[in-house]
Amino acid sequence: MIQSLSSGMQAQWYRHEVLANNLANVSTAGFKQDNLTVKEGMPEPGPAGTIAAAAHSINHWTDFSQGAIHETDRPLDVALSGSGFFVVQTPAGPRYTRAGALSVNAQGNLVSAGGFQVLGQGGPITVRSPKIVIGPQGDVQDDGQTVDTLRVVDFPKPYALIKESRGLFVPADVKVAPETATDYQVVGGALEESNVNAVRTMVEMIDMLRKYETAQRAIQAEDEAARYASNDMGRLQ
């Protein structure tokens, strides 16, 4: 009994960590919230025919639904309306992101908020003037001249992507290659907001806390009952 309750408390605490991280990123552009379900499994036979406590299984996944698009009027901000990901070059290889707060580094390269080079159809994108305009198909214009087009790719759904830091994703299977995205539009002067619903997440945290406290009280009651039973046995002897 206590083992099952303890397993449930651990699962709820993990749920708390996931929800807290979602809330911490409610204002992070392009952030995709994590979700999980906690299920109690069937009891399994224990040693010498006894019944062991039921284990709790946890299913953890990322919600890739699109966040609201918020206009910023900043020329280097871009959002994707529809499916797909921007591509950036990192020391570990290409990574994929929906976070479009771009800037230009000292070398004139278009870079992500994490400082990684943003890739176009021809590789890293270099600009030479402050007059940058990004069109609805991802075409990057530098002082009226198109220098490249943002590379936008997609993966088979449901997405089997691993979340990394700084809003980056990488395929869970390294053999899976991205395909050129088709069902999207690049929105210049805007950012995709996080898809975290702050109110719903707070409600879920309250629910988690109640379940955790209920299990904690049950364990305390079990401990107390066992202590009383032990004392009674001692008096009978």
Instruction: Kindly state whether residues 182 and 200 are assigned to the same domain.
Output: no
What does residue 195 show for φ and ψ, rounded to 5 degrees?
-95, 20
Are 140 and 150 within 8 A, CB to CB?
Answer: yes
């639904």: which residue's tokens? 65
Task: Look at residue 53 and give its three-state secondary structure.
Answer: coil
Number of domains in the chain: 2
Instruction: Kindly state whether residues 153 and 182 are assigned to the same domain.
Output: yes
The pLDDT tens digits of the residues spanning 201-220 come to: 999 888 877 876 777 777 67
Instruction: Kindly state whether residues 152 and 207 are assigned to the same domain.
Output: no
Instruction: Kindly state whether residues 77 and 187 are assigned to the same domain.
Output: yes
The pLDDT tens digits of the residues spanning 90-130 come to: 999 999 999 999 999 999 999 999 999 999 999 999 999 99
Instruction: Kindly state whether residues 174 and 207 are assigned to the same domain.
Output: no
Instruction: Kindly state whether residues 89 and 109 are assigned to the same domain.
Output: yes
- Domain interval for residue 56: 2-65+196-236
Are 208 and 214 within 8 A, CB to CB?
Answer: no
Instruction: Kindly state whether residues 28 and 123 are assigned to the same domain.
Output: no
Instruction: Kindly state whether residues 83 and 136 are assigned to the same domain.
Output: yes
Instruction: Kindly state whether residues 146 and 74 are assigned to the same domain.
Output: yes
- Which among 188, 191, 69 has a CA at the least distance from the CA of 134? 188
**Whole-number pLDDT of residue 49:** 44
Instruction: Kindly state whether residues 109 and 174 are assigned to the same domain.
Output: yes
Mean residue pLDDT of the chain comes to 86
pTM: 0.80
The pLDDT tens digits of the residues spanning 70-79 come to: 999 999 999 9
Instruction: Kindly state whether residues 128 and 216 are assigned to the same domain.
Output: no
Cβ neighbourhood burial of 97 (10 Å; 0-12, 13-18, 19+): buried
Instruction: Kindly state whether residues 7 and 85 are assigned to the same domain.
Output: no
